[in-house]
């Protein structure tokens, strides 16, 4: 298994990233200003982008694993790599997710804790309804992980 930073042809990973966010314009913006990482285990399994939000805060955006590979630890391995990579680069890594207990439990299992809630995020920023596990997403939940760095 290997994890690499993608520096070229980032748009070739669009299909996988659309699994995490269906708004192509938002994905394109994060590509321009973020670091992209891909996890391979004989072939591509997961991708994500991390953006510098300023003041020592970086945001994990659009982490996505192909559905057939979910539940095998690839997402957690990718996040663990990011925590090591950014440990000396930032103070806090944040991630926003839908108000979905499975996603929240996943990030808690990776060491993140609740930061804050943005009410009506999905109904205010998407022109279509989004459902996860049969439940409509309305609020965005932000999780945070404080790192050792004192940038």
* Per-residue pLDDT reduced to its tens digit, 40-50: 999 999 999 89
Q: Which domain holds residue 66?
A: 2-146
- Residue 135 belongs to what H/E stretch? strand 135-136
Render pLDDT for 6-39 as a digit per residue (tens, 0 to 9): 888 766 665 555 555 555 555 555 556 788 899 9
- Report if residue 151 sits inside a domain: no
User: Which CATH number is 27's domain given?
Assistant: 3.40.630.30
Residue 145, strand partner residues? 93
Decide if pLDDT at 135 tops 70. Answer: yes
The total of structural domains in the chain comes to 1
Q: 22 Cβ partners below 8 Å, 6+ apart?
A: 126, 128, 130
- Report if residue 117 sits inside a domain: yes
């Amino acid at each position: 298994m290997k994890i690499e930073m993608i520096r070229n042809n980032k748009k070739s990973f669009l299909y996988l990233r659309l699994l995490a966010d269906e708004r192509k314009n938002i994905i394109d913006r994060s590509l321009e200003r973020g670091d992209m990482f891909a996890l391979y285990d004989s072939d591509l399994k997961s991708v994500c982008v991390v953006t510098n939000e300023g003041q020592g805060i970086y945001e994990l955006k659009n982490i996505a694993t192909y559905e057939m590979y979910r539940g095998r630890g690839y997402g957690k391995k990718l996040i663990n790599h990011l925590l090591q990579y950014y440990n000396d680069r930032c103070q806090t890594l944040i991630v926003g997710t839908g108000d979905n207990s499975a996603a929240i439990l996943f990030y808690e299992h990776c060491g993140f804790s609740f930061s804050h809630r943005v009410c009506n995020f999905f109904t205010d920023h998407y022109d279509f309804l989004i459902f996860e596990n049969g439940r409509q997403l309305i609020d965005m939940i932000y999780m945070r992980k404080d790192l050792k760095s004192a940038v």
